[in-house]
Amino acid sequence: MNDWLELEKECAECKRCTLWENRKNIVIGRGNKSADFMLIGEAPGEEEDRQGRAFVGKAGQLLSMALSAMGIEDDKYYICNVIKCRPQNNRTPYEEEIESCIQYLDRQIDMVKPKVIVLLGNIAAVSLIKKNIRITQQRGTWDVYKGIPVMMTYHPAALLRDESKKIDMWRDLKNAWKKLQQIV
Ligand code: URA
């Protein structure tokens, strides 16, 4: 079986934590599965859970608009989350849930083989880079995951709460895209 189908099947049957109990749909990711540019968020929200698609709610729409304004259309990136099932009431995922789910994300990264990754928000940064990261302090900086350069920035939901973060996030996304152009 193809690796993506295998991953989808395993996620659909996954009971490694309890989040499956309340989900409507599993949310694996969307976009170009061979993209050089990959963005990783936290976990599906209400709309994502309803549609089974990543980043289609308000925060996702804001991010897509920002990317599109930079000339980065939906087919130029792959976007997914650390967690594949919606935590009830959008609570922050627990550490055990991240530990149970991260293997799926690792497999996605191995299959997409991006050349640049953008981590959106604290949970993505804490899960992939270091437990004690504070995104407010680390945003705009680079790290490395699996040998791939990783830019850390705000989660788009943070921009819905505080518009003043927009300029910084736009700058981070542009820098990440610029880095990719230098690599390819
Ligand atoms: N927030 C996320 O982190 N991911 C989504 O898919 C939607 C909102």
Token pair 């640049």 is found at 116
Q: State how far the Cα of 143 lies from the Cα of 169, in Å rounded to an integer.
A: 17
Q: Which amino acid is at 100?
A: S
pLDDT > 70 in the chain, percent:
99
Distance 179 CA to ligand 1 centre (A): 24
Structure tokens at 144: 């490395």
3-state secondary structure 78-107: EEEECCCCCCHHHCCCCHHHHHHHHHHHHH
Radius of gyration of the chain (CA): 15
Q: What separation in angstroms does the CA of 115 have from each of 56, 105, 119, 131?
A: 24, 16, 13, 23
Residues in contact with ligand 1 (CB, 6 Å cut-off) = 41-45, 48, 54-55, 57, 59-60, 81, 157
- Confidence (pLDDT) at 102: 98
What is the tens place of the pLDDT at every residue in 58-114? Answer: 999 999 999 999 999 999 999 999 999 999 999 999 999 999 999 999 999 999 999
Assessment of whether the complete model's pTM goes beyond 0.85: yes
Structure tokens at 49: 């859970």
Of 30, 155, 159, 169, the one to substitute when testing ligand 1's pocket (max ligand atoms within 8 A of C-beta) is 155
- Residue 79 CA: which ligand 1 atom is closest? 6
Distance 45 CA to ligand 1 centre (A): 6
What is the tens place of the pLDDT at every residue in 25-38? Answer: 999 999 999 999 99
- Residue 120 CA: which ligand 1 atom is closest? 3
Distance 22 CA to ligand 1 centre (A): 17
Contact 84, 104 (CB under 8 A): yes
Please check the confidence at residue 149 and state whether its pLDDT lies above 70.
Answer: yes
Backbone angles phi and psi of 161, in degrees to 5: -85, -30
